[in-house]
Chains A and B, each alone.
Chain A
């Protein structure tokens, strides 16, 4: 808890922004007077008393789409982030702790996955799927985003397992599972938390990129889908700023706040950066 108090103010501000946006995504859809697909007014009505953020090319309310979009994007991000982190930690731990042939095979596979750009694999997966539900999209993104975490976890586990307390546990007859959960993983918690934030950030971006290309989730608005329609209907060149600026600002706010939180966590957890701060 003490260490959390050492967080710089801009980190707390960033966390607050992220939580506020997440709350809008949770509460907004319940409070909204209409569904995201309902045609309420004329196309491209500017923001005003009637429509808080105006309407899009079909006359749907941008504000209602926004709160639904935030919910979809965050849901996909969370699902993909959890999947990616869990798979990455499991693969990295297995490879680092077992070593030998299993390590070679797993890391070879990981390196190949890192070299092949994830967005291309996602694109190929998405064009192959006829209907893309939000859950399927989240799982797909998680299934391609784990290699970075796996590689980093592996190198940490490989050095951790040489420590004396691990030897003692092994000599006193603890099983592999117990050694991993009790002796190794607690030392990695701060790292895993940071890896999760990065995974969440990457997944939200991946969803937005896929949706922008027209491969978004079917039937629900997401921040990327909103951007896709804004671009497809030329709202930038038409000067309908409320249509394209809304998803742009919110995607940027979400990703920027996540990255700020991550970098501040890094400076708190990373002793080298901490020492430098104290010396200044």
Chain B
């Protein structure tokens, strides 16, 4: 029962955060001075567009937001459309549906980020636990290099890797999701080609993520290595590998929270990495949309990222409640 209550209260918080996010996504462009839609239309049409284009942009807006209604009714229209998966049509690639453009880009982003996050989390935490246990020179070396990896923004490492391993040493392709002349299909040559394009952006995400997790784990494990159970295990002469395993399990709990908190930054950073490699995912879609002032696409992408981050946070919270009985006890007030 306690767990269910924990889940429900969390769900309430996330519902509030989601409402706030949806509201921000809708109202922020409207609350600022001036009539934002006029500004949007004027900006979208800067450089003398034909009257046909102008008509199209106006129609898109009127249809999408129900502009003849008041703000509250417009918001309901917007929410209704979004719930049906309708994000309107793109300005720059008319008459492409925004939802179709997102559906095209999303698999690339998932293929890039999911393995990087999961692998990076495991490797980073192991490295951090080993560093804290061994101490000395190894610890300092791992700590400084991890600090460097996290301090350098995602895209800086991506730029260095791209220049080093695709331009100076042409080991990998210089960007894109696949080679010129091929088109996405389920075949072995295309898969091999896509994999070679995938590797560098994946590697740069993985390295940054390992660095961040290693630092977090190390600072947790620093307190664990002086704990009695470690001394006890050492006095038995247990192998280091086993002791690091114990430390890992004890330091892991806070690291799961760390994962939840890192997801927002991680998704944002990964989108920027895609831009460096012109990888055909959500990040590049967003970049092109900003350059072309394609507002329906921008708003759809921001909403998507918000939803993903909230859902991921919620899942981690559920997982945490399942793993750590103390959370449930605290919610019940038993502690």
B-contacting residues of A (Cβ < 8 Å)?
A: 10, 108, 111-112, 114-121, 123-125, 127-130, 205, 208-209, 212-215, 227, 231, 236-237, 239, 241, 244-245, 248, 251-252, 255-256, 258-260, 263, 272-273, 276, 280
Q: A125-B28, A251-B153, A259-B147 are contacts. A214–B159 as well, Cβ < 8 Å?
A: no
Structural contact, B28 and A128, CB atoms closer than 8 A: yes
Provide the residues of chain B in CB contact with A213, threshold 8 Å.
272, 275, 286-287, 290
For A124, give its contact among B24, B43, B269, B276 (CB under 8 Å). B24
Q: A116-B20, A117-B267, A213-B272 are contacts. A124–B155 as well, Cβ < 8 Å?
A: no
When chains A and B are docked, how far (Å) is the Cα of A273 from the Cα of B261? 24
Q: A116-B21, A128-B36 are contacts. A276–B13 as well, Cβ < 8 Å?
A: no
When chains A and B are docked, how far (Å) is the Cα of A226 from the Cα of B159? 13
Binary per-residue interface labels of chain B (83-119) against chain A in the complex, 1 for a CB within 8 Å, 0 otherwise: 0000000000000000000000000000000000000
How many pairs, one residue from A and one from B, have CB atoms within 8 Å of each other in the complex?
A: 134
Provide the residues of chain A in CB contact with B306, threshold 8 Å.
116-117, 120
- B187 at interface by CB-CB < 8 Å: no
* Minimum distance in angstroms from A186 CB to a CB of chain B: 26
When chains A and B are docked, how far (Å) is the Cα of A251 from the Cα of B16? 36
* Minimum distance in angstroms from A23 CB to a CB of chain B: 21
Provide the residues of chain B in CB contact with A205, threshold 8 Å.
153
Extra contacts, 18 of them, besides A123-B298, A241-B163 (Cβ < 8 A), are A116-B20, A118-B264, A120-B21, A121-B28, A124-B24, A124-B29, A125-B28, A127-B29, A130-B39, A215-B290, A231-B275, A236-B167, A237-B166, A248-B159, A251-B152, A252-B156, A256-B151, A273-B222
* Minimum distance in angstroms from A103 CB to a CB of chain B: 16
A-contacting residues of B (Cβ < 8 Å)?
A: 13-14, 16-17, 20-21, 24-25, 28-29, 31-32, 34, 36, 39, 43, 135, 144, 147-148, 150-153, 155-156, 159-160, 162-163, 166-167, 174-175, 222-223, 226, 261, 264-265, 267-269, 272, 275-276, 286-287, 290-291, 295, 298-299, 302, 305-306, 309-310, 313
Provide the residues of chain B in CB contact with A121, threshold 8 Å.
24, 28
Provide the residues of chain A in CB contact with B43, threshold 8 Å.
130
